[in-house]
């Protein structure tokens, strides 16, 4: 009797259309919740499974390295902390010269500089992140643009100092390392070059610096093809002092190289200067400038004095800011003179609350050079300097 009553009540409950719909909806809801729960549990394990499977298949492959590198780059950009900046500067490609010993020296300078750059970037002090890099990345604002201004030279003139000083300006975003696009990496294409640039907001200027451009014959035409409106900055320095500084940099890494005097002359007896040695050739500024003026008007090129960048950094930075059409924000208050190093430093670098100077690769003590050789070099450079003064309309006072 009770058995029949149970089925009778069940039939009566099920026969009600409203109650039937409620039961069906409840069952569907429970199935949906179960499927959602199962999917969440499964999907949460998928990334690690895919990565592990991918790693297993692609170990040692270029694709695997690119994937791991991109993940590492993303994490490092998200978690980057402000750090003191250090300088990075690479050498030019060297032309062939007369002796096997010095030719080997010059051919190996690029690899040596790359090692020096690595030490600077991964040493005790690392470079600070570019201004506003974290904010632009985190909110997705800004876009990567081809540079509107480039520091094109010269090596050992003060290009690293100028770039680091300029990066204090909120309207300048610059690549830290030297891209070497217009001399060594041009075949990679403009999109590759653009991807190296930092994101910029409206009104900000994108910059890079590669000192070897100034002496690269193809560079002016290539930059002009990118944009004829590109503003060019050249940091120049007494060519004799620059040559000695160039040699000093190489000597610090290769103590067994020939003497400065032996590399300077083709024949010491006749006093004939060897212009095929790049340390000498770079300082013939008028010759290199001639090549640039075939593609760019003089008003698009600013010449910064390497000497004044030391004695009056705020003054030279004022000229650069005017040239770039920016408000003069970088002033005397940003600098102090470091007596030990012998050059100005920033009181407060971007991303740091402490004073910072360029690294150990700057301000090296020059070796003693025979005064007669120095004088012979000054005599050699004098006519080239005079022509350079006339071309630029500025006497740099090197004579």
Residue 266 dihedral angles phi and psi, to the nearest 5°: -70, -40
Q: Is 363 annotated as a binding residue?
A: yes
**Alpha carbon separation from 291 to 4, 107, 135, 327, 382 (Å, rounded):** 107, 25, 41, 31, 20
Which candidate in 155, 156, 209, 231 is catalytic?
156
Tokens at residue 169, please? 């300006």
Distances (CA, A) of 326 to 226, 271, 329: 23, 48, 8
The per-type count for the chain, helices as H runs and strands as E runs, is 15, 11
Element (H, E) at 57: helix 17-58
Q: Is 157 annotated as a binding residue?
A: yes
Separation CA 291–CA 163 (nearest Å):
24
**Residue 362 annotated as lining a ligand binding site:** yes
From the list 158, 207, 142, 218, the residue with the least C-alpha distance to 178 is 207
Cα–Cα distance between 278 and 300 in angstroms, integer?
A: 26
Q: Is there a contact between 82 and 128 (Cβ–Cβ < 8 Å)?
A: yes
Q: Is 156 annotated as a binding residue?
A: yes
Annotated active-site residue 387? The verdict is no
393 is in an annotated binding site: no
Q: Is 262 annotated as a binding residue?
A: no
Binding positions are 156-160, 237, 245, 362-366
Binding positions for 3'-phosphoadenylyl sulfate are 156-160, 237, 245, 362-366
Q: Which residues are identified as catalytic?
A: 156
């Amino acid at each position: 009797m009770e058995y029949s009553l149970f089925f009778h009540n069940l039939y009566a409950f099920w026969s009600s259309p409203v109650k039937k719909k409620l039961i069906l909806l409840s069952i569907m809801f429970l199935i949906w919740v179960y499927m959602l729960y199962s999917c969440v549990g499964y999907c949460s394990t998928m990334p690690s499974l895919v990565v592990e499977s991918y790693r297993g298949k692609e170990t040692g492959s270029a694709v695997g390295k690119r994937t791991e590198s991109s993940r590492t780059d993303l994490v490092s950009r998200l978690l980057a902390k402000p750090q003191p900046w250090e300088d990075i500067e690479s050498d030019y490609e060297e032309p062939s010269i007369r002796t096997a010993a010095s030719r080997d020296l010059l051919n190996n300078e690029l690899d040596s500089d790359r090692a020096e750059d690595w030490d600077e970037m991964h040493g005790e002090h690392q470079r600070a992140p570019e201004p506003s890099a974290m904010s632009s990345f985190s909110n997705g604002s800004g876009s990567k643009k081809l540079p509107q201004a480039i520091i094109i030279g010269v090596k050992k003139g003060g290009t690293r100092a100028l770039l680091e000083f300029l990066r204090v300006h909120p309207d300048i975003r610059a690549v830290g390392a030297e891209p070497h696009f217009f001399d060594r990496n041009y075949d990679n294409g403009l999109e590759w070059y653009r991807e190296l640039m930092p994101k910029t907001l409206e009104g900000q200027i994108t910059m890079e610096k590669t000192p070897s451009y100034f002496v690269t014959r193809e560079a002016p035409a290539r930059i002009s093809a990118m944009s004829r409106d590109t503003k060019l900055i050249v940091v120049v320095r007494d060519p004799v002092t620059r040559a000695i500084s160039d040699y000093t940099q190489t000597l610090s890494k290769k103590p067994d190289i020939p003497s400065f005097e032996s590399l300077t002359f083709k024949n010491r007896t006749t006093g004939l200067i060897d212009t095929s040695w790049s340390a000498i050739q770079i300082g013939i500024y008028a010759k290199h400038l001639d090549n640039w003026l075939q593609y760019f008007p003089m008003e698009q090129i600013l010449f910064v004095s390497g000497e004044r960048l030391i004695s009056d950094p705020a003054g030279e930075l004022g000229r650069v800011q005017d040239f770039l059409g920016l408000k003069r924000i970088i002033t005397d208050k940003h600098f102090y003179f470091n007596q030990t190093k012998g050059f100005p430093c920033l009181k407060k670098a971007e991303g740091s609350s402490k004073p910072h100077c360029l690294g150990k690769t700057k301000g090296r003590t020059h070796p003693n050079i025979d005064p007669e050789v120095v004088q012979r070099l000054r005599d050699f450079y004098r006519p080239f300097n005079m022509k350079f003064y006339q071309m630029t309309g500025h006497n740099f006072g090197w004579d």
